[in-house]
């Protein structure tokens, strides 16, 4: 497999990563906090509601507090966040794979394959987050069902698991690169 970002040199990719990290943080800061007793983690509680009853309880409380428009805004504002953190994961993963290749820890072919897998993982996370947002949007528009709440929560769980795992993979590639340079 080929490095999907081979057209970008590492310096330009690193610059784009720095910009993407800044934009990710900026996007995250502006997303409304929707914390209530029913949703102690705000939108995350809704993403992982797992049942129609729990999703309805959260939506009903947001309705009582006049927060449904904010919840919908949160889903919409998540779209640029997805693009920014998706690029962050993609660029960081590809750069880490390139570093492992440049250090000799991975062969050029293996480094390109690692870069391709990191890019694929970033794309999967982005797709999962978009699917999650569709589920959230439907539930915020009174389309709550057990199947939708369960599917949205499952997609969200897999997305969060991949996001949580990514730093370990990126860190492992960078550690391999560093160890190869030291020896």
CB 5 within 8 A of CB 119: yes
Tens digits of per-residue pLDDT, 28-60? 999 999 999 999 999 999 999 999 999 999 999
Query: Helix 68-102 crosses helix 10-30 at what angle (to 10 degrees)?
Result: 160
Tens digits of per-residue pLDDT, 131-177? 999 999 999 999 999 999 999 999 999 999 999 999 999 999 999 99
Rg (CA), the chain: 19
- Give the single-character DSSP code of 6: T
Tens digits of per-residue pLDDT, 62-118? 999 999 999 999 999 999 999 999 999 999 999 999 999 999 999 999 999 999 999
CB atoms within 10 A of CB 115: 27
Burial class (CB in 10 A: 0-12, 13-18, 19+), 73: middle
């Amino acid at each position: 497999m080929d490095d999907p970002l081979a057209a970008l040199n590492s310096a330009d990719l690193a610059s784009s990563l720095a910009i993407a990290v800044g934009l990710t943080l900026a996007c995250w800061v502006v997303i409304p906090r929707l914390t209530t007793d029913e949703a102690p983690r705000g939108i995350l509680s809704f993403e992982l509601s797992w049942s129609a009853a729990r999703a309805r309880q959260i939506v009903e409380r947001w309705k009582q507090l006049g927060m449904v428009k904010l919840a919908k805004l949160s889903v919409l504002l998540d779209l640029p966040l997805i693009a920014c953190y998706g690029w962050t994961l993609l660029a960081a993963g590809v750069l880490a794979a390139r570093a492992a290749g440049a250090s000799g820890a991975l062969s050029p072919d293996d480094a390109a394959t690692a870069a391709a897998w990191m890019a694929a993982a970033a794309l999967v996370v982005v797709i999962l987050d978009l699917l999650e947002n569709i589920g959230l949007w439907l539930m915020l528009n009174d389309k709550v069902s057990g199947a939708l709440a369960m599917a949205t929560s499952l997609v969200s769980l897999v997305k969060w698991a991949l996001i949580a795992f990514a730093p370990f993979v990126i860190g492992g590639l960078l550690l391999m690169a560093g160890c190869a340079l030291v020896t």
